[in-house]
Structure 1
Amino acid sequence: MAVSFAFEAVRERARTDGEACALDDLADGSTLSYAALIGRVEETADRLRSVGVGAEQPVAVLLGRSAETVVAMLAVLAAGGTYCPIDPALPLARMEALTRELEALVTISREGLTCSGGRATPAAKPFSPDAPAYVLHTSGSTGVPKGVAMPYRGLDRLIRWQIADGEPGLRTLHLTATSFDVTFQEVLSTLATGGRLVIAPEETRRDSRALLDTIVNRRIQRLFLPYVALQLLAETSARTGVVPDCLRHVVTAGERLLITPAIRDFFTALGDCRLDNHFGPTEAHLVTSLTLRGDPGSWPALPAIGTPVDGVACRVLDDRLEAVPDGEVGELYVAGDCLARGYHRAPVATAERFVASPWGSERLYRTGDLVRRSADGTYHFAGRSDDQLKIRGFRVEPGEVEHALVGHPRVVTAAVGLREVLGGIPVLVAYVQTAGPLSPREVTDHVRGLLPEYMIPSRVVTVESMPRTTSGKIDRAALAELPLPELAAGPAQDLSGLITDLWVRVLGHDDFAADDDFFDVGGDSLLATWVVAELGQAIGRPVELSVLLDASTVEDLAAALGADGPVTAVERHPTRIVTVRQGPSARSLYLVHPLGGELLGYRELARASQAPVRMLGIGWSGKPPAFGLSLSEIAETHVEQLRTVQPDGPYLLAGWSFGGVLAYEIAQQLTAAGAVVDFLGLLDANPVIDPITGLPIARTPFLSLLDEVVARLDDGAGAELEELTSGETWIQLMGTSIAEGASGDHLRATLDTARACMAAAAAYRPRPYAGPVHLFQASGFQESGTDAPRQARAAEALRDLCTGPFTVVPVPGDHWGIMRAEHVSQTAKELDAALERQGSAHNES
């Protein structure tokens, strides 16, 4: 009977060396010889076959790391079924949900082997290399786990490669979580080559001293572990002076490898011990491998991820699926026998990530990893396409910052990430586990001597121990939930606090201290003009530019202004201009707020854009506009503040939805005053025909809907409010429903601002506009798909109003979708292209 290569290789070891020890379970002190192991495996496999387990039949295994789990894994492979490990430590509801999702006929747990009741026993299907060997669940971006189904063909190619690549018969510590794909390498490559698999208890995984002692006492020769665990092991070895010189082969996988001073010293002390850096997503298991050789003192701080292993083809492509030249960064796509079949019972998710190759019949898996390929065929990791860290317009590689952090003698391990503070502004945060007391200032002072200013974390959070996922990786989601320390600035009404808040809005970050020079943290002469103009408004008296040039820190500027007399409290201006993306201050694109007055809807667009412009948001702040205020009056308020920040044109304006209608009127007022408006971008916005309903704006149902929602909010009718705001009309207008129990001044202010703006739009009678206009028109609607006639009518109505150059740019998605993750990258690309064309035309003229 045909079986998997991986299982057959283990069974062959039992035939040739049956008395040798195969398993050594440290939790209960039991051991199993190869002969005894295969005997138990065959017995369990027979039971599985008798209840219908064969090709395409999942078996849910709810066991922790133990000899029983190894037996279950091998038995499922022997029967040709699908091994589906589920961590028994998961919450009960999650375990039950995963089991239901698998539709497993059979479950193996501590209670033994059980079959689902009420189902007829099918005949076991014969072995097929295309049938799934296992299903492993990865965390999904939506919070719903995705089950990756790997065929036997992929598992067998992996084990063949691992056997050929490593020294056979090594005593290997079984350390990884059962739901982590590296478990298959640990277990199968060890047993297929006659090695001894030493099964570590759970406490050994979580205690680096216990791990070190186990390696030494059990004379472990091979070890698979993620970077963070290797770093802690190296630190513990240095601290205790215990060197596990029995180690001959260490494999790290699962997260970015950094060669820290501790790891460098660890391998120097070990002498002849091989270190491999393995790279690959669960959907392809192992893709590339790099063996670090020679003197550890010469190893690079950020090693490459290596070259493709057997059965793998790597492609570095751009967003058009075109090959990227060697040396340039692109997204990694993977092809070959390594690929999973897809996501279990999730065809839509499978189609999104497993795509057809433009060069032939091969399938490609889109990893989301950014890499560059050097001329010798080595691949280098460059970050994630879906979670790229970007600070002040600079791309930041987290590994580089983390390497600098762990270079401090008292930092044991570190992680960095982006967090949003002060109205959605992203800042770089360092999470550090330390050996002894260490102040945030000491951490940043250390890093400041190693990295550029923009890579210095603006917050440092100390953790007692770094949280980890079940697979041993750093749990970055858990880190993101930790509270952040506050800036050491005064209260908002304090002059220092006022200046700090203003700098944050102008610079687009809060990555500065009170004694940092404005011009050293991203400021320039044009931004300085903005600062002094708004400072003058805020304190009720003029501020000369020379004051900021002479007193260019928060502390000095506060002292200088305080010396000029008391600060007069003035009412805050309703227009609030905020930097939403850094860029050259000499060329700024102003994004005008939609109905609610907020700017959060532009965040994803700003992140996706690559245009060489500074993106400034024009929002409405504080007290909502009075109901009945005209659109021209609202625009006039914004124009006044806009010209305070930038007295002269040319101006670049854009707005989405109502923001585009408001941008249209702002452009009218600027040109009427003699200013030049080089660019007006309407992002699914139309001052004549509403893009959502296709009706004239005065005939849309939106104002009455907003009135009803506000009335329900005032009445406290939570359930009715949630139902009322769950319909398609509301979602297209405001983006999200209002949950039952929602309340608060902020929500009411947003709704009142939306009502005032909607009433102003309904009463607006736009005048013809002679400047250039770009209409970025959503090409599809959720309720009816593409509606070309309606779009054509709306575009034609706007074309009649615009007497200057008029360009229609179709973009995929519905009214909200063009601004969200699914389609916003294409919207940003079209906006960038239009701005580039405008810039070229302006330069030529």
Structure 2
Amino acid sequence: MNKNSNRVQYKDFSVWQNFYDITKQEEYWKREFAGEIARVDLKTDFLRPQIQSFRGANVVAKVKEPLSLGVKNLALKHGATEFMVTLSVFILLLGKYSRQKDIIVGTTVSGRVHADTKGMLGMFVNTLVIKGEVCPDDTFEHLILAVKEKCLQAYDNQEYQFEDLVEAVEKKRDLSRNPIFDFMFGLKEKKKPTEMQGLLGGKSAFIKRNVSKFDLSVLVECMPEGYEIDFEYCTDLFKQETIEYMARHYVTLLEEAVTHPEKKLKDLHMLDIREQEKILADFNATNVEYAREQTVVSLFENQVEKTAEHIALKFDDKQMTYAELNERANQLARTLRDLGVVPNDLVALVTERSMEMIVGILAIIKAGGAYVPINPEYPDHRIRYMLEDSSPKIVLTYKNKLPGKVEIPVLDLEDENHYANETDNLLHVNRANDLVYCIYTSGTTGNPKGVLIEHRNVVNMWVTYKETFALNDKDTVLQFANVSFDQAVGDIFPALCNGAALCIVPKNLTYDMEQLQKYIDRNNVTTASLTPKVIEALCADALPTLRLLESGGEAGNLESLKEWAKRVEVLNTYGPTESTVNATSFRVSTDSISITIGRPIANTKVYLLNGMELCGIGIPGELCIAGDGVARGYLNQPELTDKKFIKNPFGEGKLYRTGDLARWQPDGNIEYLGRIDEQVKVRGYRIELGEIESVLRKQSKIADAVVVVKEVGNDEILCAYLVAEKGQELIIPEIKEAIREEVTEYMIPAFMIQIDEFPLTINGKLDKARLPEPDMLESLKYVPPSNKTEQAIVDVFEEILGVSPIGIEDSFFELGGHSLKATAAINAIEKKTGIRLPVKEIFSSPTPAILA
């Protein structure tokens, strides 16, 4: 190139650029982005639109001069720039928000790498992509050096155009988001306020608009008094409040990093004192005074004195008063004590649903022991495992036999000889920290694990239910959950310790929703705790006496619960067995715009953690529970107990790590995000299955929907199971076409299967294992063209893709298409039909049927 800049023009630069060999630069970028590109997936406030939205707004944060000087000094110490240091903090912020290791951020450079281009008119700007790695045990100094190295490498290879990189590494475009990266970062120099410093001081124009080209763009502007940091965000993805908190978190993290660069990344916090106080004190202001020395036995016996002749139990057409229940339990308890039952002894209960089941539970705890409920419908090997693991002193049975030979005393509750004792109350032998029950839950090893719950845990639960449910002796509480499921604890003890009648559902009605509804109505039930699937099968108008409905066990359906809220009080609750039934509660109203798991219940604290770091508002973290409901631990599993029940760093007692992912909302409610170990990723995109289910439920003729991930061949694909409204037949292609208007292509299930009803577990939850397997051949069923336009598009697809035959329901991309082939297809369609389609049409309408 001629060194006389007065004679060199942009057209000369363009010619030179076309002949300049950048093969090595191309190789660098292809190596950098070889394999699957790890998208940074922040949890958004709104469902991502199918076509990328550019509607935007801005939030501005300010940094004072002392901190900006600290950034300069830190940069100088490590031979870096302010840009590199502030970018490192942004990468760390995204890592903490997304819980991801690999973070990809875009930035811009001037592109004027040749001396002759200085002052030349023309477009030189290029976009560079920086890959950062957030390793919690690395120091911030290490991160700066790593980002510096990436920046230097990117600068050395900046002449390779971003558009070429996109064509080379992103085979399938997603029209809902920017290619390769969704987050942009830049820094404006103080001397030239209209220019932005990218890598190594390269310049590019930056113009503020009321739009957002990316999910989030952050611009740090150097001012005489410090920094002004502009957060430009997409308003179709994020609420203003979310970005305001994110801006605060960035500034706090910047201050932490500059002050303590030697600290590990996991020890650099984003919360300022004000936000920390809000979470620890305001959101967890749950203290309720109660007599902590009480036991479940004393609560029940106190209630018997108050309501001796009131109905305590209803089952089928039978009834039992509080006095009768207490006397019969006392008789059986004496038999158990005579057989050697003492505090903390386990007694297994393998019974059918019945009044005897409740008598057995009360007798065990009156004797001083703890009951181990075992569902007689469990497979024999599971029952044997529970009996071997718990080593109960005695087993109580009712209308069933144990599998195989058992070397433990077995008492049949039908045998009246076990009740031939005095009826008055026994001497109390338990203390508040003695065991009251051990319930088995699913374990990661394949065998269930026993959760040990103490009297104090259940007494606290009674306090919560008394406050939330306001139960009294006029109430009738439905007992639907199987006794081996901890929701049964939430039915039995709050009812019997508050004077309400407990209405036990017979076994044959647990799967017959029509008869269950009649049974609830006939027994004048006032409160019921049910799973969402059972709730959706019932009709609120057919239950006139019901005043309160609790939905729990799994995620509730907002629209369904809002319908119920028109007639009754509705609670959506959350709690693992390890926190004694419930840990949080949310009151659903007809005005609710989203469903959360609510706030911590009485004497319960909830903390969201990333490792051991406290997560702020809007930041996903593991849901951890402390307080009076936290269990003793797991039976015979000290290592697992130590791993899951850790010392509470924020207060007294133990902290239980649930393995669930959640985030605080600004109002103190908690948004449940699913299991950490079940985070779904398909083709590199993190997917919220609940969002797809919600969209499917809104479609006409669909009563309910469940989306799961299935492994087909070597690929993980989405599969939707749909239940139609009564008498309706679903047309799957129409449903796919309809939801394309609301969700992005990668969120559309590859398989959609209509089934009559969802299979449920014995506890009323969805039984995913019994969902039918998708039929690959059926999904690939050939549908021929029905008109000339469809035929023309099919011909083009077959020619471009080299696949035949192609049907009108087959996706261009699922058959091997990518962005280069998409352009070729559009050109070929224009030649055949005379119609020019925008390239984006093939991305949003990838089948011949939709394109036509």
TM-score (norm 1): 0.55
Code of the aligned partner of 2:336? L
What whole-Å deviation, never above 9, does each CA across 1:11-44 have from its counterpart, x for those lacking one? 2222122111111111xx2211110000011111
Is structure 2 residue 771 aligned with structure 1 residue 479?
A: yes
- 1:140-177 deviation line (CA, Å, top 9, x unaligned): 23321111111222122111211222222211111111
Count, aligned residues: 519
Match of 1:276 in 2: 571
Residue 162 of structure 1: aligned partner: 465
Aligned to 2:585: 290
- Note if contact 1:3-1:80 (Cα within 8 Å) is conserved in structure 2: no
Match of residue 309, structure 1, among 571, 576, 601: 601
Could you tell me which amino acid in structure 2 is paired with residue 285 of structure 1? Answer: T
- Any idea what SS the aligned residue of 1:402 has? helix
Distance 2:704 2:483 in 1: 25
Write the distance in 2 (CA, Å) between the matches of 1:485 and 1:125. Answer: 66
Deviation per residue, 1:632-655 (Å, 9 max, x gap):
xxxxxxxxxxxxxxxxxxxxxxxx
In the aligned structure 2, how far is the partner of 1:76 from the partner of 1:200? 22
Partner of 2:771: helix, strand, or coil? helix
C-alpha distance in 2 between matches for 1:547 and 1:443 = 24
Q: Is the 8 A contact 1:135 1:149 kept in 2?
A: yes
Work out which structure has the larger RCO, using CA pairs closer than 8 Å and 6 or more positions apart in sequence. Answer: 2
1:642-691 CA deviation, whole Å, 9 max, x = no partner? xxxxxxxxxxxxxxxxxxxxxxxxxxxxxxxxxxxxxxxxxxxxxxxxxx
Shift of 1:209: 1.2
Q: CA deviation at 1:462?
A: 2.0
Amino acid of the residue matched to residue 9 of structure 1?
Answer: L
The residue that corresponds to 2:548 in the other structure is 249
SS in 2 for 1:78: helix
Q: Partner of 1:206: helix, strand, or coil?
A: coil
- Matching residue of 1:387: 678
Cα offset, 1:405, TM superposition: 2.3
Is 2:337 the partner of 1:49?
yes
In 2, Cα distance between equivalents of 1:232 and 1:16: 37
- Whether the 8 Å CA contact 2:586–2:596 is kept in 1: the answer is no
Query: How far, CA to CA, are the matches of 2:691 and 2:639 in structure 1?
Result: 36
**Equivalences for residues 99-498 of structure 1 within 5 A:** 99-110=387-398, 117=407, 126-169=429-472, 170-234=475-539, 242-260=541-559, 262-268=560-566, 270=567, 273-292=568-587, 294=589, 296=590, 298-300=591-593, 302-318=594-610, 320-358=611-649, 362-432=653-723, 434-436=725-727, 437-479=729-771, 486-488=778-780
Report deviation, 1:445: 3.6
Write the distance in 2 (CA, Å) between the matches of 1:215 and 1:426.
41
Shift of 1:202: 1.7
**CA separation of 1:55 and 1:480: change in aligned 2, threshold 3 A:** farther
Following superposition, the deviation at residue 131 of structure 1 comes to 2.7
| RMSD of aligned alpha carbons | 4.1
Pairwise CA distance, 1:549? 10
Partners of 2:509 and 2:612 lie apart in 1 by 45
Displacement of 1:517 after TM fit?
5.6
Aligned to 1:283, what secondary structure does the other structure show? helix
Q: Distance in 2 between matches of 1:476 and 1:253?
A: 17
- 2:378 maps to 90
Aligned pairs (5 A) from 1:434-583: 434-436=725-727, 437-479=729-771, 486-488=778-780, 514=809, 516=811, 518=813, 525=819
Q: 2:312 touches 2:325 (CA, 8 Å); kept in 1?
A: yes
Corresponding position of 1:754: none
Contact kept, 8 Å, 2:293 with 2:456, in 1: the verdict is no
The residue that corresponds to 1:610 in the other structure is: none
The alignment partner of 2:440 has SS state of: strand
Alpha carbons 2:337, 2:367 under 8 Å: kept: yes
Task: Note closer, same or farther for the CA distance 1:288–1:9 as it changes in structure 2 (3 Å cut).
Answer: same
The answer to whether the 8 Å contact 1:496/1:554 transfers is: no
Task: Indicate if the aligned counterparts of 1:402 and 1:416 stay in contact, CA closer than 8 A.
Answer: yes
Instruction: Check whether the contact 1:415–1:430 (CA below 8 A) recurs between aligned residues.
Output: yes
The answer to whether the Cα contact below 8 Å between 2:707 and 2:718 also exists between their aligned partners in 1 is no
Amino acid at match of 2:547: R
Partners in 2 of 1:94 and 1:143 — Cα distance? 10
SS in 2 for 1:129: coil
State the alpha-carbon separation in 1 of the partners of residues 799 and 725 from structure 2: 32
Alpha-carbon separation, structure 2, partners of 1:451 and 1:126: 60
SS at match of 2:565: helix
Q: Is the 8 A contact 1:405 1:447 kept in 2?
A: yes
Deviations 1:793-834 (A, max 9, x none): xxxxxxxxxxxxxxxxxxxxxxxxxxxxxxxxxxxxxxxxxx
**8 Å contact 2:586–2:597 — kept in the other structure?**
no
- Give the whole-Å Cα distance in 1 for the aligned partners of 2:470 and 2:821: 62
Change (3 A) 1:426 1:499: farther
| CA displacement at 1:310 relative to structure 2 | 1.6
| 8 A contact 1:289–1:309 mirrored in 2 | yes
Identity of aligned residues (%): 27
AA at the equivalent of 1:165: T
Change (3 A) 1:430 1:62: same
Deviation of the 1:326 alpha carbon: 1.0
Q: Distance in 2 between matches of 1:112 and 1:243?
A: 35
* Whole-Å separation in 2 of the counterparts to 1:384 and 1:484: 28
Where in structure 1 are there 5+ consecutive unaligned residues?
506-511, 533-545, 560-845
Match of 1:757 in 2: none
Q: Distance in 1 between matches of 2:840 and 2:359?
A: 73
Deviations 1:202-260 (A, max 9, x none): 222212211221222222111110111111114xx6xxxx5312110101110001122
Residue by residue over 1:178-218, the C-alpha shift from the partner in whole angstroms, topping out at 9 and shown as x without a partner, is 11111111111111111111111122221221122122222
1:254 alignment partner AA:
G
